[in-house]
Amino acid sequence: MNDKFASFSFASLLFVAGLALDCEAASPLYRVTEIGTFGGSTSVGFAINANGDVVGRARAATGARHAFLFAGGVLSDLGTLGGTESSGNGINNAGVIAGWLMSWGRASHGPFDMPAR
């Protein structure tokens, strides 16, 4: 019985070691990129499409949150569409952005015709 256990343990060890070596050789599936802000303290991405375009919101120097599009290494302020704050919360592969804007203390949700690149 001890020989069977020893054989099983050794085989398990080789299997785990093989997995570790295989994982070490694999290339990462993602890349972390610092996108910056619009002069404020924070930014957060909420969605990414198959093209690698990211949408979210970033603080401006005034503290207001502005929707952004990060595409091709460029951070673009999508503005507030006449409101006081905005956020990009989704983007499809065609580049259509969904999000919200705040105007007079009330949030409106939905797809907006936010300026593209």
Cα–Cα distance for residue pair 84/87, rounded to 1 Å: 11
Strand arrangement, sheet containing 74-77:
39-48, 54-60, 65-71, 74-77
Residue 91, pLDDT above cutoff 90: yes
How does the average pLDDT of the chain come out, rounded? 77
Residues 65-85: tens digit of each pLDDT? 999 999 999 999 998 878 889
**Where is pLDDT greater, at 59 or 106?**
59
Cα dihedral 29, 32, 65, 116 sign? negative
At residue 6, φ and ψ (nearest 5 deg) are -65, -40
Q: What pLDDT is stored for residue 73 in this prediction?
A: 92
Helices (H) and strands (E) in the chain, counts: 1, 7
Nearest to 86 by CA among 71, 106, 65: 65
Q: What pLDDT is stored for residue 80 in this prediction?
A: 84
Could you give the C-alpha distances from 76 to 4, 66, 107, in angstroms and in order? 63, 10, 22
Q: What pLDDT is stored for residue 4 in this prediction?
A: 47
**How is residue 14 written in tokens?**
């080789």
Residues 25-37: tens digit of each pLDDT? 567 777 788 889 9
What residue segments make up the domains of the chain, in order of their start? 39-111
Cα–Cα distance for residue pair 107/101, rounded to 1 Å: 6
Q: What is the dihedral of CA 50, 56, 60, 65, to 10 degrees?
A: 160
